[in-house]
């Protein structure tokens, strides 16, 4: 039940700090707008539309982001469009621009990106959008 992301982070972050675990990579939807995102028509429409379409999930994602930003953890929030099960699809964009509303991305590609973030320590305290 909502707010699952917020509740999870509220419990997990203090435990991580207590156990001296400093790296966290999590995932949320590309519709989450964060500080530093470039302004665009798609970002503006996302900021208006997603809270109307799915207010609970958007509020949950925003609150998770707020908790992470206040923490001492080296976090990365991977923002993605709708997921699919294609096995050969590759990521064509890594950045902070919103994807087209019809964009999808393979779960396999998302998992590979998250592993790269662990191995390369990329995007510390950042929330890249991949598609």
Q: What does pLDDT average to in each consecutive run of 10 residues of the chain (131 residues)?
A: 92 98 96 93 89 92 97 97 95 95 95 96 96 97
Question: Any alpha helices (H) in 19-106, and if so which ranges?
Answer: 41-53, 55-70
pLDDT for residue 9? 98
CA distances (Å), origin 92, targets 7, 52, 70, 96, 126: 32, 29, 31, 13, 19
CA distances (Å), origin 120, targets 5, 12, 38, 50, 114: 25, 23, 25, 32, 10
pLDDT for residue 51? 86
pTM for this model (two decimals): 0.92
């Amino acid at each position: 039940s909502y707010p699952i992301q917020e509740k999870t982070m509220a419990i997990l972050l203090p435990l991580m700090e207590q156990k001296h675990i400093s790296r966290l990579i999590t995932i949320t939807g590309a519709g989450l707008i964060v500080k530093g995102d470039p302004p665009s028509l798609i970002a503006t429409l996302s900021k208006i539309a997603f809270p109307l379409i799915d207010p609970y999930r958007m509020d949950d994602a925003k609150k998770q982001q707020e908790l992470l930003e206040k923490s001492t953890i080296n976090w990365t929030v991977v923002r993605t469009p709708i997921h699919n099960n294609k096995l050969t699809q590759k990521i064509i964009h890594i950045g902070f621009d919103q994807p087209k509303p019809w964009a999808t991305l393979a779960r396999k590609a998302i998992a590979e990106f998250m592993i790269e973030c662990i191995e390369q320590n990329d995007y510390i305290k950042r929330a890249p959008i991949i598609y």
